[in-house]
Amino acid sequence: MACHGGFSVGDFRQTFIEREKAVIKIAVVGVAAVLMAMQLKEIKPQFGSYVVFGAGILIFFYAFGKLSEIVEAVEELSGQAAIEEKYLRILLKMLGISYVSEFAASLCRDGGYASVAGQIELFGRLSILLVSMPVVLSLLNLLGRLLR
C-alpha cells in the first residue's frame, strides 16, 4: 500500500473501521440506557435518571480514554503543517473544555437543572476565551507587523 508520511492506506482503513465500531458501541450503550430509563420511569422515575447518568459517565470515560489518539494525531499534524506546538496545545485545551462543559451541562439539563447547566456553559465559554488569548494576541501582533 502507498505510504504517506509514515501512515499507509491500509493503516487508515483499519483505524477507520475501528472507529466505526467504537461509534456503534457507544450508540448502542446510549440507546440501551434510554430504553431502560423509559421502562424504569414507570416504576420509579429516579432510577431512569440513574441509568442515563451512569451511561453518560461510561461514555465520557470511554471518550476520555481515546484522548491519547487525538493528541498523537494533532502532534503528527503539527509536524506536517509546521504549526507551533503551543498553538496545538491551546486547541486541545479548548476542545477539552468544550467537551467537559457540554457534558456536565447536558447532565444538569437532563436532571432538570437548566440554570446550573447554563452557568456551566457560560463558564466553559469564558474559559475557552481565556485559554485562546495567546492566539488572539499573536494574530493581532502579526496584523500589526503586516500593516507597518
pLDDT mean over 10-26:
74
Distance CA 60, CA 56 (A): 6
Please name which of 33, 34, 56 lies closest in space to residue 104, comparing C-alpha atoms.
Answer: 56
Residue 129 reports pLDDT greater than 70: yes
The three cell numbers of residue 23 are: 461509534
Mean pLDDT of the chain: 83
Residues 6+ apart with CB under 8 A from 16: none
* pTM of full prediction above 0.75: no
Q: How many CA atoms lie within 13 A of 39 on its CB side?
A: 6
| pLDDT tens string 29-80 | 989 999 998 898 888 878 888 898 899 889 888 887 777 777 777 777 777 7
pLDDT mean over 117-146:
92
Residue 128 reports pLDDT greater than 90: yes
Pairing of strands 7-8, 3-4: antiparallel
